[in-house]
Structure 1
Amino acid sequence: MSKIKLMLALALAVLLAAGSAGGAVWWSMRAPQASASEPVEPPAKPGPDYKYVTLDKVLVMLRGRGGEAMAHYMAVDVVFKTLPEQEKRTKEHLALLRTIAVKALAGYNIDSASALTIEQIADELNRAYREGYGAEHREPPFAEALIGKLIIE
C-alpha cells in the first residue's frame, strides 16, 4: 500500500508542476512585458458611472414643402447622460429641456429634417442646450444629450 501512496504523491507532484508551468506560460503570454527603459503606466481609471434621464416624445410640427397642406412632424426621445449627483437636477429641468429642444427643431421643414442624421440632430440639440444654459450663465445638469428615438412623418 505504501507503493500506491508513493505513486499517488508522485503523480500529484507532476500534475502540480505541469499546472504551474502552464500558468507561468499563460501569464507571460497574456500581456507584453514592459522593458526596464519603458515607464510602467498605471491602469486607466474608469470613467464616471453615468445615469441616463429620458425626455420622451418631444413633438415638433415641421413646415411643409412650398405651402403643402399636409402636416408633418418630428418626434424625438432625448436621453440625457448625467452624473449621479446631477440626476435630480436634470429631472427638475425636463420642462426647460423640452422647450429648448422644440425651439431648436421647429425651424426645419420636412426635406431638411429628413436629410439630417441622428448625429446631426444630437449635435444641434447639444448646441442649443449649451447656448440656452450659457445665456443664463449656468452649466447644464448633464454631460451630453443623446437621441433615443427619432420619427419623421
Structure 2
Amino acid sequence: MNKKLIIIIVAVALICAGGAGAAVYFLAPPKGEAAEADKHDGDKKTKKKKKEDDEEEAGPMKYLTVEKVIVMLRRSPNETVPHYLSADLVVAVPVKKEKDAKEHLPLLRSVAVRTLSSLPMDKAQAMTIDEYAEALNKAFEEEYEKDEREQPFKEVMIGKLILE
C-alpha cells in the first residue's frame, strides 16, 4: 500500500509540474512583445524617476514676501477721482534657490508695478485673486523669457489686496 501511495503522489506532482510548465509556455508573451513590455516598464520607471527628481529638486519651499506694492490704476475718460491698488505678494521659492530669489525681489516689484498699474479700475474691480495671481505669474514668465534667465521661484501668490 505504501508503494501505491508514493506512486500516486509522484504522478500527481508530475502532472502539476507539467501543467505549470504548459501554463508558463502558453501564457508568456512572445519574445518581441516581451521586449516591448520591458521597454514600456522601463519608460514608466524613467518617468517615475524623473518625477521624483523634480520633487527632490524642488525640495522644501520657502515663502518670501514683497510687501506694499502700491499702484495708481488707470482712470476712465470721464473719471476724476484717482484709484489705488495695494498688494502684498508671496513668492514660493525652493530653499535651494532662496538666495537667488531674494536678489530678484526688486525685479519682481518692478514687474508687478508695471503689470498692475496697466489695469483700468473697472477691470481691477471685476478680477478675482486667482486672476491677479495668474496675470502676475504670466508677466514674470514673459520677463524671464525675454531676459533668457531662469526663474528662481515657482509661483507668485497674492497675500493681501486692497482696491481703493
Which residues of 2 match residues 83-122 of structure 1 at below 5 A? 83-122=94-133
Stretches of structure 2 lacking an aligned partner (at least 5 in a row): 1-51
Which runs of 4 or more aligned residues in structure 1 lie more than 6 Å from their structure 2 counterparts after TM superposition? none
Note the alpha carbon deviations across 1:103-138, whole angstroms, 9 max, x for none.
111111111001000000000000000000100111
User: Counterpart in 2 of 1:124?
Assistant: 135
Normalising to structure 2: TM-score of the pair? Answer: 0.63
Note the alpha carbon deviations across 1:60-108, whole angstroms, 9 max, x for none.
1012232312110111111100001111111111111001011111111
Which residues of 2 match residues 66-81 of structure 1 at below 5 A? 66-81=77-92
User: Counterpart in 2 of 1:57?
Assistant: 68
SS of residue paired to 1:85: helix
What is the identity percentage for the equivalent residue pairs of Structure 1 and Structure 2? 44
Normalising to structure 1: TM-score of the pair? Answer: 0.68
SS of residue paired to 1:142: coil
* Inter-partner Cα distance in structure 2 for 1:86 and 1:102: 23
SS of residue paired to 1:131: helix
* Inter-partner Cα distance in structure 2 for 1:110 and 1:136: 30
Task: Tell me how large the CA RMSD over aligned residues is.
Answer: 1.9
User: Counterpart in 1 of 2:155?
Assistant: 144
* Inter-partner Cα distance in structure 2 for 1:124 and 1:49: 25
